[in-house]
Amino acid sequence: MDELQQVLSAARDQDRQDRRWALATIVAVSGSTYRRAGARLVVRDDNSWVGNLSGGCLEGEVLELGGASIDDGRPRRDFYDLTADEEAIWGWGLGCNGAMDVFVAPDRVARSHLDLLERGRATGAPFRLVTIIADGSDGSDGSDGSDGDAAADGPEVGATALLTADGAVDGAQDVGDEVVAAARLTDETTVLEVGEREVFVEHTGPPLRVLVCGAGHDAIPVVARGASLGWDMVVVDDRASFLDEERFPEAAGFVHADPGDAAEAADVGPRDAAVVMSHNFLRDAQYLASLAPVGLSYLGMLGPGARLERLVDHLLEQGTDVRDHLGAVHGPAGLDLGAEGPDEIALCIVAEVLAVQRDREAGFLRDRGGPIHRPEDG
């Protein structure tokens, strides 16, 4: 279960127990911060929390903010500036050297937000989540806890709408047509000013779906590591006896198919990734022939580069030319970390998939020569 799923589960558990809670969300950052916009944390009414906004630097402050929101049922918002030059800020040694804008919604309005978030993730495609975080028409900015009541002629602070990839809108009546129209015009996760309101537009999507083609022993840690990041790990093999929930307890699903039919049987698309690791030359050739033309976001081929060349040549001899479809192919799969054994190799493969998804070169952070996060990452 990834962090977002843990946050969703914590909120649902509170509701089942008839307990109060609030949802804290980072809506903007500047400088070097531990988390980026969109990170969430559930504050529970027993002063505990699930999630992470700052790696421990500010969770105590956010707990107070969330506790106040639970007490009076009003949204809150605060800005935490950790960019001072001094080693100690507010009496603590905080080394983030960045600033975060945090919005807190009580459960009465956050339930709809989480419902729409789950609905968006279930679409299997990117989506926008649009949340009103301030309404200047009534003089409220959230810093004093005054946010939360609907303006006389407008939507309530905390109201959320879902904009899906197919153009559908859920919740337009809650945020207003003007807000929806403005959100459609941005392709970034950002805070917009729409009239007198401030709106958090979050561009996000479903969990990454990764096919692990070949259910051998060394596929087990790959599935486990990918699942720990919240990815949907799907195991593919033509040997039904290998597709076992006890063998792969973290797998999101199984596909029993011949290697040459893998792409069609698993219904893969360009947003998906795959790792081919059957350790059988002919099986791997058929997986490559099936998956490469799809244009996956990542296609890892286990084994040395010379083996990949032989696979491509073999397919060409058989009348299948994949040479124009190798842009996403990584062979050998994995980052160069000097890995030995299945667990370390799994770490290298999963790390490479993550680097590709984040469009990073995966070098040492000390060699970046600039901020850890790029501005567009927020």
Nearest to 25 by CA among 5, 47, 7: 7
Asked whether residue 217 falls in the same domain as residue 198, the answer is no
- We report the CATH number of the domain holding residue 271 as 3.40.50.720
Place of tokens 């926008």: 128
Cβ atoms of 277 and 212 within 8 Å: the answer is: yes
Handedness of CA 144, 149, 153, 157 (dihedral sign): positive
Asked whether residue 200 falls in the same domain as residue 222, the answer is no
Q: What is the pLDDT of residue 89?
A: 46
Q: What is the pLDDT of residue 205?
A: 86
CA distance 266 to 278: 16
Asked whether residue 144 falls in the same domain as residue 288, the answer is no
Cβ atoms of 52 and 41 within 8 Å: the answer is: yes
Residue type, 218: D
pTM listed for this prediction: 0.79
Q: Is residue 174 part of a domain?
A: yes
Q: What is the pLDDT of residue 58?
A: 80
Of 145, 178, 204, which closes a domain? 204
Task: Count CA atoms within 13 Å of residue 206 on its CB side.
Answer: 16
Number of structural domains found in the chain: 2
Q: Is residue 362 part of a domain?
A: no
30-76 confidence digits (pLDDT tens): 877 778 899 999 999 999 999 988 876 788 889 999 999 999 999 99
Asked whether residue 138 falls in the same domain as residue 214, the answer is no
Asked whether residue 290 falls in the same domain as residue 333, the answer is yes
Q: Is residue 363 part of a domain?
A: no
Asked whether residue 221 falls in the same domain as residue 199, the answer is no
Q: What is the pLDDT of residue 373?
A: 64
Q: What is the pLDDT of residue 169?
A: 94
Asked whether residue 157 falls in the same domain as residue 250, the answer is no
Of 153, 187, 204, which closes a domain? 204
206-262 confidence digits (pLDDT tens): 899 999 999 999 999 999 999 999 899 999 999 999 999 999 999 999 999 999 999
Q: What is the pLDDT of residue 377?
A: 54
Cβ atoms of 42 and 22 within 8 Å: the answer is: yes
Q: Is residue 139 part of a domain?
A: yes
Q: Residues near 336 by Cβ (< 8 Å), separated by ≥ 6?
A: 348
Q: What is the pLDDT of residue 99?
A: 84
Q: Is residue 313 part of a domain?
A: yes
Q: Is residue 376 part of a domain?
A: no
Cβ atoms of 163 and 152 within 8 Å: the answer is: no
Q: Is residue 274 part of a domain?
A: yes
Task: Count CA atoms within 13 Å of residue 295 on its CB side.
Answer: 2
Backbone angles phi, psi at 282, to 5 degrees: -70, -40
Asked whether residue 220 falls in the same domain as residue 316, the answer is yes
Asked whether residue 175 falls in the same domain as residue 243, the answer is no
Backbone angles phi, psi at 90, to 5 degrees: 55, 25
Beta strand pairing call for 190-194 and 127-135: unpaired
Cβ atoms of 273 and 210 within 8 Å: the answer is: yes
Asked whether residue 277 falls in the same domain as residue 314, the answer is yes
Specify which residues 239 forms β-bridges with.
Answer: none
Q: What is the pLDDT of residue 91?
A: 45
Of 204, 230, 264, which closes a domain? 204
Q: What is the pLDDT of residue 90?
A: 45
CA distance 51 to 327: 36
Q: Is residue 284 part of a domain?
A: yes
* Residues spanned by the domain of 157: 10-84+100-204
Count of CB atoms within 10 A of residue 218's CB?
18
Task: Count CA atoms within 13 Å of residue 313 on its CB side.
Answer: 6
Asked whether residue 254 falls in the same domain as residue 331, the answer is yes
Query: Per the omega criterion (within 30 degrees of 0), is the bond before 332 cis?
Result: yes
Nearest to 197 by CA among 181, 169, 175: 175
Q: What is the pLDDT of residue 34?
A: 75
Asked whether residue 111 falls in the same domain as residue 179, the answer is yes
pLDDT under 70: residue ranges of the chain = 1, 56, 83-97, 137-153, 370-378
Query: Burial of 49 by CB count in 10 Å (0-12 exposed, 13-18 middle, 19+ buried)?
Result: buried
Count of CB atoms within 10 A of residue 309's CB?
11
CA distance 194 to 178: 7
